[in-house]
Amino acid sequence: MLTSSFIDFTGRVAVVTGAASGIGKATALGLARHGADVVGADINDAGLDDTLNAIRALGRKAAGVHCDVSKPADVNALFETVDREFGQVDILLNDPAVVARFKPEDLALEDWQRVLDVCLTGYFLCAQAAGKRMIKQGKGGAIVNVSSIAGSSALGRGNFAYSTAKGAINQFTRELAIEWARHKIRVNAVQPCQVMTPIVKKWFEDPATDLNSLLPRLLSGIPLNRLAEAEDIANPILFLASDAAAMITGAILPVDGGNLALNAGGSLIW
């Protein structure tokens, strides 16, 4: 983990969506280790409770809200909790994701819409709610969106809706960064490669997945030759949310073991 002398969130309140597991959980715990109080949101209540208990064990304040970010009423309830419990928001992590893995010709409209509702509209609803409060507070803030290498490089493998949403998140990040720069609100994104999150683990454990074929193909696109762990993504998020990145906004940061550099036109031969 990054050292506390380099990054300090003392006195700040962070809202972390997708906090029950994976990147969201790792980031929530990292924020707490560096002094932030955290409001976590997720639809996985048991996982969220585990995260909140771990934050409290670190000596930080924590609150949690059952929240489907695609539902405006849930997002309103989330930020009403922020207002009531803490009275401020300084950092937002937009992290929720849902995958509908189908060939484009077989993708049902409801599955397409669900991916966009969570992976794009949900990010907008949370960013808008946080941004309004940050503007009113008048002291700036930091928003970090979790995008994906899928937002810059086509993945295939039935990721059509997901990749489309992540490409939109990249431009969403740039536009918000420019719109809110005058309010000293920085907006950035990270682009992970495949991360060993519950979604990926479920994919690997699916009987229909030929892991013996899939894993070597995935690793062949990652020059560092391993999948990422959640903490590998959380650390750059902490940096982007911190004062150490005070001059960075509108950045789309690959955290991908070299995948996008490779896909710029090279091929990997071991």
Cβ burial 184-221 (10 Å sphere, 16+ → b, else e): ebbbbbbbbbbbebeebeebeeeeeeeeeeeeeebbeb
| Tokens 């950092």 found at | 91
CA distances for 254 relative to 88, 194, 242, 251, angstroms = 30, 12, 18, 10
Q: Write the CB contacts of 187 (distance below 8 Å, at least 6 apart in sequence).
A: 127, 142, 143, 144, 145, 173, 176, 177, 180, 249, 250
Amino acid at 53: N
Both tokens of 33, joined, read 């280790």
Contact criterion met (CB below 8 Å) for 215 and 242: no
Q: Active-site residue among 79, 86, 123, 162?
A: 162
123 is catalytic: no
Q: Is 248 helix (H, G, I), strand (E, B) or coil?
A: coil
- Catalytic residue numbers, as ranges: 162
